[in-house]
A and B are shown apart, each in its own frame.
Chain A
C-alpha cells in the first residue's frame, strides 16, 4: 500500500514537471512535446492500427531471433561448460565479443542476407546469443554434479540427460542470463529496425523523426519501454518466482 502510494506520487510528480515545462513553452512543441500531444499520438497510432501492426511485426522478429539464440546458446554453453578445450579456446573469444555492440554486425548482415528480415534477425541473434551462452556455461558449472550423476544412475543418457536433468537443473542459474539475453535481443531489434524500412516499432520511431513529429517519437519510445517491461514482469519474474518456489529458495512455503 505504501509502495503504491510512493509510486503514484513519483509518477504524478514526473508527469507534473513534464506538463509544467511543456506549458511554459520554453521550447517549441515540435522540440518538446506536451503529454497531451503524446497521448494523442498514442491514440491515433492505435486508432489506425499502425502501432498494432508494428508491435506484431517486432514481437514476431524478436521471438524468432531470441528463440534461435536460446537454442543455440544452450547448446554452445553446454559444450563450453563440459569441454575444457572449448572453454579455453572459444570461451575467451566469446567474452571479448561481448564488448561488441551487436549493431556493428549490421554492415556484414546486409552483405550476407541482403536488405531483408534475415539481416535483422542476424543482428538480434548476435545481440543475445552471447548472454545466453555464457549464462548456460556458468549454469552448467554451478549446477551440483549430483544431479547429472543421479540422472545417469537412473538410466538417462544423451539427449534425455540434457532435457530432463541438465537443463532443469541449471535453470535457476541461467534464468538471469536468459533475461539479460532477452533485453539485448529487444534492444538490438529496435536498433536494427531503425536502420531499415521494415514496418516494426523502430521504423515507426524513425518515421516520427522524418515527419518531425516528436510526440509520435515519444509515443513509440513509451511503447518500446512498456513491452520490454511487460515481458520482463510477466515472463521472467513469474519464471523466477516459480523456480524459487519449486526449489524451496523462498521462505514462504
Chain B
C-alpha cells in the first residue's frame, strides 16, 4: 500500500478502530468469556495481549485523584509489532508497567493469551527505559538472570546465554561488567537479557531514546532482525513517530492526560524500512499532525505548572 492511501480512520477494519468503543469493548468481552471455555482452541484469533477498558488513577501529592489512563482498549496479535506513541506524560510507560504486571490497573482487564494478568510473569518481559541492568553481575550473568530465577539448569543457561549474546553481537563481552560498555551495547545487553527469558511478549519502553542516531539505526535493524527470527510479539513505546513507523506493524496514538487511545494507524509499508524512506516520512507526517495537538496540550500544561517543557527530538522531523 502506498503511503498516500493512508486515510486512516474511515476505512479502518473494525478491530483496530478505537472510536467505536462500545462495539469494540462488547465484542472483546464476549471473546474473553468464550476464551475461558474449553472451546478456546476454536477461537484462532484470541489476541496475544488484550486490554479492555483499562483505567489507572492515582493520588497526587496534593491529594487529588489523577486519571492517568482512561479506558484503554488495545488488542495485539501474536507476532505483531505494535508501537505506542504519545507526548510525554500520556502514560505510555505506565501502560507497559501494567501489562508487565508491575502495577495493577484501577479498573479494566488485561488479558494475555486470554488469561488475566495477575502479576509479573516471564511470559512478558519489560525492557525499562533506564534498562535496570544489574551492575553487580557480569554481562553473561545479567543475561541468564531470568533463567536462573526460573530454575533452568546451569549447562542450558550457559548455552542460551551464549546464543543470545551472539544474537546481539556481544559474546566477547560476556565477562565484562555493564559499566564498561557503551550505551548502545548496554541496550543490547538488556535486549539479550529480555530475550533469554524467552518471553512471548517483549515490552520496550523508549529503549533507544538516549542513543545517538547511528547506534539507534543499527539497533533498529537488529531489533527487526531478531523480531523476524524469534517471532515475538513486541509492544514498543516511543515518542518518536518516525521510529514508530519504521518499526511497527501498527501505531497507536495516545492522548495527553488522561491517556486514551486517540487513533490507530496500520503501517503497511514493505520491510525493511529506514527512517529516511520518504514513505516512512509521509506516514509519520500523518501521525504527527494528530500528535501535534496532544504535544501542544502537554506543553501548555507543563508551562502552566512552571515546569521546563520537554520538546522531544525526532517528533518534529
- Residues of A in contact with B (beta carbons under 8 Å apart): 146-147, 149-157, 160, 164-165, 168-169, 171, 243, 246-248, 253
Q: A150, A155, A160, A253: which contacts B134 (Cβ < 8 A)?
A: A150
Please tell me if B180 contacts chain A, counting CB pairs below 8 Å. yes
Encode B106-122 as 1/0 by CB contact (under 8 A) with A.
00000000000000111
B126 and A153 contact, CB distance less than 8 A: yes
Q: A168-B136, A248-B177, A253-B180 are in contact. Are A155 and B121 (CB under 8 A)?
A: yes
List A contacts of B120 (CB < 8 A). 152-153, 155, 157
Besides A164-B145, A247-B136, 4 other A-B contacts (C-beta < 8 A): A150-B133, A153-B132, A247-B177, A248-B135
How far, in angstroms, from A246 to B122 measured CA to CA in the complex? 27
- Residues of B in contact with A (beta carbons under 8 Å apart): 100, 102, 120-122, 125-126, 128, 130-137, 145-146, 148-150, 177-180, 193, 197
B136 and A154 contact, CB distance less than 8 A: no
Q: A155-B149, A246-B177 are in contact. Are A149 and B132 (CB under 8 A)?
A: yes
A248 and B180 contact, CB distance less than 8 A: yes
B122 and A149 contact, CB distance less than 8 A: no
List A contacts of B180 (CB < 8 A). 248, 253
How far, in angstroms, from A115 to B156 measured CA to CA in the complex? 55
How far, in angstroms, from A157 to B150 measured CA to CA in the complex? 11
B177 and A149 contact, CB distance less than 8 A: no
**Chain B contact residues, majority secondary structure:** mixed
Q: A149-B102, A153-B102, A169-B134 are in contact. Are A248 and B128 (CB under 8 A)?
A: no
Chain A residue nearest to B203 (CB atoms) is: A153
B179 and A154 contact, CB distance less than 8 A: no
List B contacts of A160 (CB < 8 A). 149
A155 and B135 contact, CB distance less than 8 A: no
List A contacts of B128 (CB < 8 A). 146, 149-150, 153
Chain B residue nearest to A168 (CB atoms) is: B136
B134 and A165 contact, CB distance less than 8 A: yes
List B contacts of A169 (CB < 8 A). 134, 136
Interface centre among A153, A156, A157, A165 (most CB of B within 10 A): A153
B136 and A152 contact, CB distance less than 8 A: no
List A contacts of B126 (CB < 8 A). 153
28 A-B residue pairs with CB within 8 Å: A146-B130, A146-B131, A149-B128, A150-B132, A150-B133, A151-B145, A152-B120, A153-B100, A153-B126, A153-B128, A153-B132, A155-B122, A155-B146, A155-B149, A155-B197, A157-B120, A160-B149, A164-B148, A165-B134, A168-B134, A169-B134, A243-B136, A246-B135, A247-B135, A247-B136, A248-B177, A248-B180, A253-B179
